[in-house]
Amino acid sequence: MPRGISFVCLTALTLLSSAASAAAEYVVRPIAVPDMKAVFGQVESRRVVPARARIGGSLREIKVSEGTQVKEGEVVAIVVDDKLALELNAANAKIEALNAQQENARAEFERAQQLLARGAGTQVRLDQARMQLDVVVNQVAAAQAEKTVIEQRAREGEVLAPADGRVLTVPITLGSVVLPGEEIARIASGRYYLRLSLPERHATEIKQDALVRIGQRGLSPAASGNIAEARPGRVAKVYPEITNGRVIADVDVDGIGDYFVNERTLVWIPVAQRSVLAVPPQVIVTRHGIDYVRVITDDGPIEIAVILGETIGTDDGSRIEVLTGLRDGDRISLPGGKP
């Protein structure tokens, strides 16, 4: 092989080797990560509406119990007022009496018309008979309207669900005497969300639309899992009023529709930012319980013992926080040349 070609090939191999070496390095730089605070969030419903009695009376039937799913307009309970049946009987009797008077007044009116046509009656008598018939007809109409009102009041004994949702409480027992407007059941009809209560010192750090992490059901960290396994949520609202040294925030999260209202679960929320040094997980080598990373120096690669922190999710993948052992600008050897 000619000498010139050998030199070119050697140069190309050197450049490829240098590029591979450069690609196999990871330069340690500080990254900003949110400082997550673990708090308990309480499940709330956007709307809790009462199903109220529309009339007074005795609670004759309860069709739902705590936890029942209801649809808007569904009958929740039935209230019966025994006086309505008596009033309805009285209205029917009044209508029958007025119908009899109406028939009599119509007969008098027709008789007055016949007499006037034969010249044996007067116009005054005809006008009086017509007026009497009109009065009775109007009385019949008024009595029928009163009966309709009584029937509507009887139908209003059905307590209806005001919206779709789940019954939270039924604070009344069968047979109880209820008044108009009294609460028969409480129904959670809105979307569920988590309500957080944090110390006042974090008020300026909590931002709307900030991402949070939601643990599994359970009050203990062991049951809720760690932050890496938690599902995401979003801060939907931060309330501007501080009450008893606490700031209130609401978190939207999917998949909590089967939770109990007022159930609590662990939530990690960002309250500050801190600068950390982090490395890809594959550069960590563990021997005899001690973690090492291979650092590239001018004298060649050396292994340095490090103390690791928590796992951090970034846009480039997961990183492991290094508490001690590395400095800004250190070059880490990457196995396989991939970060």
Confidence (pLDDT) at 162: 92
Question: Given a cut of 90, is residue 85 above it in pLDDT?
Answer: no
Query: CB atoms < 10 A from the CB of 321, how many?
Result: 17
Question: Given a cut of 80, is residue 302 above it in pLDDT?
Answer: yes
% of the chain surpassing 90 pLDDT? 30
Confidence (pLDDT) at 3: 43
Query: How would DSSP label each residue in 99-163?
Result: HHHHHHHHHHHHHHHHHHHHTSS-HHHHHHHHHHHHHHHHHHHHHHHHHHHHHHHHHTTEEEPSS
Confidence (pLDDT) at 226: 62
Q: What is the pTM of this model?
A: 0.57
Do 208 and 235 contact (CB within 8 A), yes or no? yes
Q: Across residues 326-337, what is the average pLDDT?
A: 82
Confidence (pLDDT) at 306: 92
Confidence (pLDDT) at 224: 56
Q: What is the pLDDT of residues 22-76, one digit of tens each?
A: 447 889 989 888 888 888 888 988 888 999 999 999 999 999 998 899 999 999 9
Question: Given a cut of 80, is residue 222 above it in pLDDT?
Answer: no
Q: What is the pLDDT of residues 107-163, one digit of tens each?
A: 888 888 888 888 877 888 888 888 988 998 999 999 999 999 989 888 889 999 999
pLDDT, mean over the chain: 83
Label residue 229 by pLDDT band (50, 70, 90): low
Confidence (pLDDT) at 146: 92
Label residue 336 by pLDDT band (50, 70, 90): low
Least trusted range by pLDDT, from 16-30, 98-112, 200-214, 259-273: 16-30
Question: Given a cut of 70, is residue 301 above it in pLDDT?
Answer: yes
Task: At 225, list the tokens.
Answer: 């899992």
Domains present along the chain, CATH in parentheses = 24-35+276-337 (2.40.420.20), 38-47+188-270 (2.40.30.170), 54-80+157-185 (2.40.50.100), 82-154 (1.10.287)
Crossing angle for the helix pair 123-155 and 82-118, to the nearest 10 degrees: 160
Do 309 and 33 contact (CB within 8 A), yes or no? no
| β-strands 158-160, 75-80 pairing | antiparallel
- One-letter amino acid at 194 equals L
Label residue 221 by pLDDT band (50, 70, 90): low
Q: What is the pLDDT of residues 238-261, one digit of tens each?
A: 999 898 899 999 999 887 777 888
Label residue 225 by pLDDT band (50, 70, 90): low
